[in-house]
Every structure is written in C-alpha cells, then in structure tokens.
Amino acid sequence: MTGRLPALLAALGRRLPSDRLIDLLHHLNEAEGPDSPLLDRWSANHPAAGLAVQLSTLRTAWRDEVPQLSGAALALSLATAAEAEKGMDSPAELVVSGPTSPAIPVRLTSGIAVDVIRSARASLLIASFAAYGIPEVVTELRAAAERNVRIDLFLEESTAAARAFGPLGEHVRIWHRTDGDDARTSLHAKVIAADRHTALLGSANLTGRGLSRNVEIGVILRDSRAVGRLVDHLRWLTGPDGLLRRA
C-alpha cells in the first residue's frame, strides 16, 4: 500500500477510542468500497469535530489509490495500524471546547476528559481551579475507584471545588494549598493525568461550561517521558517540601 493511505489509516487509528474503532472496523468489513453508504451512516453517528472530514479524506485516498481494495482488507490495515500505535508514544493532539472548525480534526474536551479517566489502571492525578456541574466526570471517577484506581484531586479551596466530588467520599484524596501559602497565589493548573502514559492539559476547568461551551484550548500528551515528569512534579507537591496538604 503506497501514497497517502497508510498515513491516513495510522492517524485515524491513533485518534479513535477503542469502542469507535471497533464500530468502524465492523462497518468497513461490510462495505463493498469507499462509496458505501455504510460509511456515511457511521460518520453521521459519530459527529466528533473534524472526524467526518478525516474519514472523507481517507475514503478519497482509498478511491484514488487502491479502489480494488475491499472494505475487509482496509479494515485489517486499519486494525494493524491502530495496534502498532499502541506501542508508540504519539505526538500532542489538539483538544477544544466551544466552536470547532469542521476542517480540523480535533477532539472535544468533554469527550477526551472521559477517555483519559477511563484509560487509567493504577492512578489518576487531577487538578482544577474550579469544579461543578460535571456528573459524567464524577460517574467515571466512581467507576475508576471501583477498579482500584488511586485518585488524587488537587483543587483550589477558595472556589469550593471539592463540593463537586462530595458523592465520591473516601474514594478520592483531596489536596489544597497549605495554610501558609501567600493568599495572592492559587492552584490554577488544569490537568488530568492517567497513570504515567496520558495527560490532558489545557485552559478548561472541570465545569460543565469549561468542558463543553466555553472557548477553551488544550492538548493530550501521550509521551510517557513527558507525562512521567509531570506526574513526578505533581506528586512532589504533596511531599514534605511541596505546597499541598490533604483536605
């Protein structure tokens, strides 16, 4: 396989969470070619920002470069590309809240926040200046706690952000700035770090508006070295020389 198609398959495999990837592979296996209405239907059912354009570009390359390739063969190629991506550190990926351009393949903050939480198997480190109106996030954190994920929340005390996580009780550990901190400072970071492999960084607070309606920009990091350093720094803040105390 030559031309643009391999790179397009790799990008799509890197972007799609496992449930969407499995659904697309099913549709591709049933598709007779790039013009199959099954693929139109899949695209309509997954209205993520820029995803329709990304799939359309892939279908155009399929049509132009290897029109004889069956949908089943393309599905196998996509599955192979996605599996290969699992073992590689990926570049930063753009995340937005608010209006999106259909020409740019970006992820929405609300969806990627849930994906990052779901990807954690051992630990979650979450920092936010404000937090409220996030029942889906609280539900995902409860599910993470049930699979024995250690959850640490770094929250700004002056905004009463901890109230949003009250239903989780002792399933989470909440950290605030120490009483001796300069009153003019605040805990302003916005981070969701899963284990040491994935982190969402950006301007959005953990609020309903921040994750969906406000104009916010962020990135997903899947570079284990960078995420590891970030996690180490956040953990240091909770140590003897750090600035955070248990609530």
Residue length of the chain: 247
Q: What pLDDT, on a 0 to 100 scale, did the predictor assign at position 118?
A: 92
pLDDT band at 235 (very low <50, low <70, confident <90, very high): very high
On average, the pLDDT of the chain sits at 88
- What is the arithmetic mean of pLDDT over 174-183? 75
101-139 burial, b for 16+ CB within 10 Å, e for fewer? eeeebbbbbbbbbbbbbbbbeebbbbbbbbbeebeebbe
Please tell me which residue, 224 or 26, carries the higher pLDDT value: 26
10-46 residue pLDDT tens: 888 877 877 788 889 999 999 999 999 999 999 888 8
Would you list the domain boundaries of the chain?
5-86, 93-246
Please tell me which residue, 183 or 5, carries the higher pLDDT value: 5
- What is the arithmetic mean of pLDDT over 176-192? 79
Least confident window among 55-59, 86-90, 104-108, 188-192: 86-90
- What is the arithmetic mean of pLDDT over 67-94? 80
Q: Show Cβ contacts of residue 114 under 8 Å, excluding neighbours closer than 6 positions.
A: 136, 137, 140
- Which amino acid, residue 63? R
194 has pLDDT over 90:
yes
- What is the arithmetic mean of pLDDT over 54-64? 91
Q: What pLDDT, on a 0 to 100 scale, did the predictor assign at position 104?
A: 62
96-109 residue pLDDT tens: 888 877 666 667 88
Question: Hey, what CATH topology would domain 93-246 get?
Answer: Endonuclease; Chain A (3.30.870)
CA–CA separation, 13 and 9 (whole Å): 6
